[in-house]
Structure 1
Amino acid sequence: MASKLLRTANRTLNVLQNGSKFAGVSVRKNSLWTKEGIIKSPYARVDVPNYTLYDYVWLNLEKWPERTLTVCARTGRGYTYEQAFNLSNAFAANLRQKFKIRDGDVITVMLPNVPDFPLIMLGVMAAGGVVTTINPIYTAHEIQRQLLMSDSKMIVTLPDKVNVVREAIKIAKLNIPIIVIKTNGDPIPEGTVAFNELSEDIHVDKSCLKKVRRTANDLCFLPYSSGTTGLPKGVELTHRNIIANCQQISDPAINCNEETTATHQDVAMAILPFFHIYGSVVVGFHEMAQGVKLVTLDKFQPEVYLQAIEKFKVNILFLAPPLIILMTQHPMASAKVYQYLDHVINGAAPIVATDAERFLSKVQRKIRFGQGYGLTETAPVVAMSPKTLYDYNAVGHPVANTDIRIVDNDLKNLGPNETGELLVRGPQVMRGYRNNSEANANVLTNDGWFRTGDLATVDDDGIIKICDRLKELIKVKGFQVPPAELEAVLRDHPAVSDAAVIGVPHATKGETPKAFVALKPGFSASPKDLCSFVAERVAAYKRIDDISVLESIPRSAAGKILRKDLKSKYC
């Protein structure tokens, strides 16, 4: 492992000052930049095993059968790896026998982070099915839309969600079974089937699973993109896509976990929702394949969350900006609560260095803090900070087997430190959007590149910094204003806990920034004071003239600001 790390470090640092030019920009020889303007990964190429995701997760089961796979932070209910394997197999066999699920059939999972969630997903895949996930707070209209778009054959949910699910099924004019997860001793709703009755069925004939015929190139996961720039689209991810990404983020320069043994097991908090790609792959499938203990929390309660971090000795945290800000500002935040943390990775949306530094000041010791970058369409990780990178504004290099480009509006390659759209090519890139050729044509180029829609820069050494969403840039008199920059400035105000900025039409400027802020408990600040605070810190064209104070900033489950909701409600 040490020699591999040394080779990686040498490759990353082996750049010379004399160089060539492309696009009018000097580039050093032997850097991660090719002469064509493509940025390569510094990490050793990985082999992508020819497995299904189900087989990949259980590949090393015999090494840690008695170790805990999932445990509920509130109740302590959970499963060992061996229990999870056996239960998911029985569930899969019953899906084939009792519900006639066949290869390629889609099953909807609409759950919060309960300990059973990973078992459900793996059971569906063992049966040859495809998992699509739904946020459990969705309305009947939102549910029915995804049921129809995915052609779902069944839905798994909680008993208290059955009424809204039935309404959705009625609207969609479907007749599909409902399976429920029992989290207590209450009877299940009439007309539904309990998951535990299927998974604990010792008499089910598992030989039917031998008829499953799925390959690494088959579809296994169908998450729907967040819809921050339009209606949600089904993202077709194959077994190979997700396994490739798990292999990519296992490189010793960037990984977060040590080997699970008889005396050691890392503990990760599964606070990011499993129904989102970040939670399902990075926290779920990848960590399960490594034998990590996952501490689940079915509803976010700050005190329970913080208590669980200390109680379960959590040492790995994958987070989004709102969680980091909460972990900085909450009255319980302390070095004692965070005493076991070794790795903290931010993703889903960028965080600025000042927010990272404020969080680390609460930890009061040196730990690894990094950023990751990815999208649902890239299964999800494109880049992750190496352990030795201390620039908290950066997201590191592209992961193994991954090429990136920075391009202008004409898709021509730009050079180091120039801002443009980030394009990605690698084995983790989706097969495409489900039944949406127009959307595919917009994001997948003929020569195999995926257009992220994100603005970024890459320095001479191949380090990526994400600037903003291309479609969310505010155009003020022709100048581009990134909302994330103004949001970071607002969060620097001592009274502001969270902020969002959108562009609104303006008679003379074309567009102008409008801000929304949530204040810390016990603090006050007038919109005029906040506008002045920003004006002192930015160029004149970036100044904000209109600020509204809200109780909270609307965000998606992944932590992304829902700018379209702010626009529809307040503009």
Structure 2
Amino acid sequence: MHASFWTDKYPEGIPTEINPDQYPNVLAVLKDSCERFADRPAFTNLGKTITWGEMYHLSGEFAAYLQTHAGLQPGDRIAVQLPNVLQYPIVVFGAMRAGYVVVNTNPLYTAREMEHQFNDSGAKALVCLANMAHLAEEVVPKTGVKHVIVTEVGDMLPPLKRVLVNAVVKHVKKMVPAWSIPGSVPFTKAMKVGAKADFREANPSAEDTAVLQYTGGTTGVAKGAMLTHRNLLANMLQCKVMMPENMKEGEEVIICPLPLYHIYAFTFHCMSVMLLGGQNVLITNPRDIPATVKEMKQYRFSAFVGLNTLFAALCNNEQFRQLDFSGMKLTLSGGMALQQATAERWHKVTGCEVSEGYGMTETSPVVSVNPTHATQLGTIGIPVPSTLCKVIDDDGQELPVGERGELCVKGPQVMKGYWQRQEATDEVLSADGWLQTGDIAIIQEDGYMRIVDRKKDMIVVSGFNVYPNELEDVMAAIPGVLQCAAIGVPSDKSGEAIKVFVVREPGAQLTAEQVKTHMRDKLTAYKVPKDVEFRDSLPTTNVGKILRRELRDEELKKLGAA
């Protein structure tokens, strides 16, 4: 049966198509929304709110600074390494308006990870938080980054509060290690300089790359997915039409606990909510559940975008259970599998059903979602408008409805390709635009889809992709390691946890703690294994390739027997 057969099975009220060409680029939507919703709140953080009009004005000042003082050419890449603070949208939209490509960078990256991303993207400028500047000091000289702008957590707050918050973060909480980057410019100074400068508004074409979003794709080396203006426009329009009909323009308050540098939060909060003229309440540290709940208590919020681990942690918090949920219209889940028990508990506590969706960086990211008025728990919903899905067998042949196969996606949100990696692009993207996701799915008769397995070995820890190749490269460098492998094992807390297997060299006295310590030095915290098991040998193919799937199967059997 043809892949697009189920477009006639869409629930009522949802169009089957969107027009990704109704705007020439993301900047046209930005201008339109910031004018229409000029007086409406756009972003809130640490008690400070900026309106859409203010955000447009401030992003223009930052754009002016970049064009006149950063030495960048149109199309140059600028790495943005910020958590959820007000500076993030100002910097990202400012960079786009000035004509540059945004490279979203995880603030928790280690020096090793930063170096790879900056060099691979060819980033010429970096905007980072002072808390991470000590790593930038180490990395920048090894890259092509020529201009560094450093911001502190409280830089967008009123003068007195700014000084106080920045002092507490630096001196009381000791969260800013000493750093020195010659020629770096404070964000506050950049904004003052930009306020006095003029700039030329960029006018990129729909096919120009707007964002380089790094992902392991189906292998371990982090690659930049080239997301064009048209890709982002398509996905923001697709998300918008999937929102409940009772969400009103210029009136909604959306809680944003997921990091904006992650494509899921980036597209939803910076793109779709811009189209809606909503207010994003930015949570800087969602791991601090009491502080998150305290922040949420101040708003009659209407939407919450999260993932399984966060839903579970919040429902376990007594103060959260006492919040006012009367305004709730939408809860979105993505990034990792939603557990049925968690979804049911969230519904019971908040009165709002969770709509689970599916996506990947390469699809900007949303592929499918459960419509709020027709959710099917345990599925990833239906494809968003203008999106075709099919499943194929190992020979690339399309399979009938109800059979399991690799999910393939085609639509205007599918990336242009991987940055400077044609071979890797050709592996996943066909000439006629079908993207192979590496996930094994079943398309049901009613058009809803279920993910049943992963073809690739990727591990998903609390919504973050972790690639075994990368972990094994780091482990292999540990003195005393002869062979190693990394797999994901089921975890109630994080969806999956990392377990590694090590074969020691003869006579080596390596301990599990030494392995973890080494990996902690080289990798972001969520990539550090929870469990290290030493073995005399590992299962391999006849050419010596370690069989991770066998190790995974063994672990699942153990869990089944437990």
The TM-score bracket by the shorter chain reads 0.7 to 0.9
SS at match of 1:372: strand
Residue 80 of structure 2: aligned partner: 109
Q: State the Cα deviation string for residues 520-565 of structure 1 (Å, max 9, x = none).
A: xxxxxxxxxxxxxxxxxxxxx8453798xxxxxxxxxxxxxxxxxx
Identify which of 266, 270, 273 aligns with 1:287: 273
Amino acid at match of 1:194: P
Q: Quick check: 1:221–1:238 contact (8 Å CA) kept in 2?
A: yes
Q: Which amino acid aligns with 1:214?
A: P
Tell me what 1:11 maps to: none
Residue 456, structure 1, aligned to residue 441, structure 2:
yes
CA contact (8 A) 1:69 1:78 kept: yes
2:126 paired residue number: 155
For residues 256 and 164 of structure 1, do their structure 2 counterparts lie closer, same or farther at Cα, with a shift above 3 Å needed? farther
The separation in 2 between residues aligned to 1:52 and 1:79, in whole angstroms, is 24
Partner of 2:75, secondary structure, is: coil
User: How far off is 1:506 after superposition?
Assistant: 5.6
CA 414–427 in structure 1, closer or farther in 2 if over 3 Å, else same = same
Residue 118 of structure 2 contacts residue 145 of structure 2 at CA under 8 Å; is this kept in 1? no
CA distance in 2, matches of 1:506, 1:339: 54
Pairwise mapping of residues 215-230 of structure 1 onto structure 2 (< 5 A)?
215-226=205-216, 229-230=219-220
In structure 2, give the amino acid aligned to 1:427. Answer: P
Write out per-residue CA displacement over residues 328-384 of structure 1, whole angstroms, 9 at most, x where no aligned residue. 223434153544432111001121322211222222x3x242111111000011101
Aligned to 2:200: 209
Runs of 5+ unmatched residues, structure 1: 1-21, 35-40, 475-482, 517-540, 548-571
CA 197–362 in structure 1, closer or farther in 2 if over 3 Å, else same = same
Cα drift, residue 310 of structure 1: 2.3
Is the CA contact 1:472–1:502 (under 8 Å) kept in the aligned structure 2?
no
Corresponding position of 1:328: 315
Corresponding position of 2:343: 356
- In the alignment, residue 181 of structure 1 is paired with which amino acid? T
Q: Higher mean Cα deviation, 90-99 or 228-237?
A: 228-237
Secondary structure of the residue that 1:95 maps to in structure 2?
helix
Q: CA separation in 2, counterparts of 1:285 and 1:31?
A: 27
Contact 2:125 2:148 in 1 (8 A): yes
Deviation at 1:57, TM superposition (A): 2.2
Cα distance in 1 between the residues matched to 2:384 and 2:117: 32
Contact 1:70-1:296 within 8 A present in 2 as well: yes
When normalised by structure 1's length, the TM-score is 0.75
> Are the structure 2 counterparts of residues 256 and 376 from structure 1 closer, same or farther at C-alpha, using a change threshold of 3 Å?
farther
Aligned to 2:377: 392
Task: Give the alignment's Cα RMSD to 1 decimal.
Answer: 3.2
- Aligned partners of 1:257, 1:205: CA distance in 2, in Å? 42
1:414-439 Cα distance to aligned partner (Å, 9 max, x none): 11221110000110000000111221
Q: 1:246 aligns with which of 236, 241, 249?
A: 236
Query: Please, which moves more after superposition, 317-326 or 235-244?
Result: 317-326
User: How many equivalent residue pairs?
Assistant: 466
Q: Which among 247, 268, 277 is matched to residue 258 of structure 1?
A: 247
When residues 113 and 460 of structure 1 are mapped into structure 2, their CA distance, relative to the original with a 3 A threshold, is same
CA deviations 1:236-279 (Å, max 9, x no partner) are 0100000011111121x545872334xxx211112111111001
Matched with 1:268 is: 254
Q: 1:344 aligns with which of 318, 331, 349?
A: 331
Q: Please give the TM-score of this superposition, normalised by the length of structure 2.
A: 0.76
- Cα distance in 1, alignment partners of residues 67 and 217 from structure 2: 33
Query: Do structure 1's residue 79 and structure 2's residue 50 form an aligned pair?
Result: yes
Q: Take 1:270 and 1:458, find their aligned partners in 2: how far apart are those partners?
A: 31
Instruction: Spell out the pairing of 1:85-104 with structure 2 (5 A cutoff).
Output: 85-104=56-75
How far apart are 1:458 and its partner, in Å? Answer: 0.8
| Separation of aligned partners in 2, 1:433 and 1:90 | 31
Distance change in 2, residues 1:266/1:213 (3 Å)? closer
Q: 1:334 to 1:515 in 2, by over 3 A?
A: farther
More helix by share: 2
Q: Deviations over 1:401-454 (max 9, x none)?
A: 111111111111111221110000110000000111221121011322100001
In the alignment, the residues of structure 2 paired with residue 247 and residue 358 of structure 1 have an alpha-carbon distance, to the nearest angstrom, of 30
Matching of residues 392-471 of structure 1 within 5 Å: 392-471=377-456
Q: Higher mean Cα deviation, 287-296 or 377-386?
A: 287-296
Q: From 132, 137, 151, give the equivalent of 1:181.
A: 151
The separation in 1 between residues aligned to 2:454 and 2:499, in whole angstroms, is: 12
Structure 2, unaligned runs of 5 or more: 155-161, 168-178, 460-486, 502-537, 542-546
Give the whole-Å Cα distance in 2 for the aligned partners of 1:142 and 1:380.
22
Of 287, 305, 327, which aligns to 2:292? 305
Is 2:52 the counterpart of 1:52? no
**Partner residue, 1:277:** 263
**Aligned partners of 2:111 and 2:139 also within 8 Å:** yes
The 5 Å alignment of 1:3-22 reads: none
Separation (CA, whole Å) in 2 of partners of 1:502 and 1:405: 33
Q: Answer yes or no: is the 8 Å Cα contact 2:247–2:329 preserved in 1.
A: no
One-letter amino acid matched to 1:314: F
2-structure distance, mates of 1:63, 1:326: 37
Residue 226 of structure 1, CA deviation: 4.8
CA–CA separation in structure 2 for the residues paired with 1:454 and 1:33: 25
Correspondent of 1:377 among 354, 359, 362: 362
Q: Which residue of 2 aligns with 1:559?
A: none
In structure 2, how many angstroms separate the alpha carbons of the residues matched to 1:240 and 1:61? 19
Q: Distance in 2 between matches of 1:318 and 1:466?
A: 20
* Deviations, residues 84-128 of structure 1 (Å, cap 9, x unaligned): 111111111121111232210100000111011011100000000
- Residues 88 and 199, structure 1, Cα contact 8 Å, conserved in 2: no
**For residues 402 and 202 of structure 1, do their structure 2 counterparts lie closer, same or farther at Cα, with a shift above 3 Å needed?**
closer
Alpha carbons 2:315, 2:349 under 8 Å: kept: yes
Q: Offset at 1:391?
A: 1.7
Contact 1:256 1:343 in 2 (8 A): no
Q: Which residue is 2:108 aligned to?
A: 137
Give 1:392 deviation, angstroms.
1.3
- The one-letter code matched in structure 2 to 1:420 is G
Describe the superposition over 1:149-199 as per-residue Cα deviations: whole angstroms up to 9, x where unpaired.
111110001122212101011233x45111122323259967321223333
Given residue 208 of structure 2, which amino acid in structure 1 is its aligned partner?
D
Code of the residue aligned with 1:225 in structure 2: it is: T
Query: Equivalent residue for 1:118?
Result: 89
Distance 1:101 1:78 in 2: 30
